[in-house]
Amino acid sequence: MGAWRNWQTCLPAGRRDGLKYLFISMYVVYAIKSKIRNYIYVGLTNNLDRRFREHNLDNEKTTKAYRPFKIIYTEKFETRIKARKKEKYLKSGVGKEFLKSL
C-alpha cells in the first residue's frame, strides 16, 4: 500500500492538467527468523512479498544457509529515511534483543 498525495499545488500551472495525484510507495522494515537455526535477518524493502520470497526461494547469499524463514516483525514507513533509521536500530544490540523477545 502507499499514500496518495495531491501534488497539483507543487507543479507549475501548465503541468497541473492530467496529473491530479502521484502515488508514493511505502517502505517496510522487516525481520525474518530462520526456522532451523538461531538467526534473525533485518531488512528494508518496498515490496515485502517479493523480498520474502527471494529469501526463501532464491540464492540470496546472506540468507541461503538459514532457509526457510518466517516473518517475525514488520513496520511501514512513508519515507526511506525513516525506514532506514528503524532498520539500523533493529540491527543494533538493543534492537536485536527486542526482536529476540518477540
pLDDT digit string (tens) for 29-68? 999 999 999 999 999 999 999 999 999 998 789 999 999 9
Judged by phi (left if over 0) then psi (alpha if -120 to 50, else beta), residue 96 lies in: alpha
What per-residue confidence (pLDDT) applies to 1?
42
> Which residue segments constitute the domains of the chain, with CATH numbers given?
26-100 (3.40.1440.10)
**Which range is least confidently modeled, 17-21, 71-75, 80-84, 95-99?**
17-21
Average pLDDT, the chain: 85
Model confidence at 2, in pLDDT bands (50, 70, 90)?
very low
Residue 19 in this model has a pLDDT that exceeds 60: no
Cα separation of 25 and 20, whole Å? 16
What per-residue confidence (pLDDT) applies to 13?
54
Length of the chain: 102
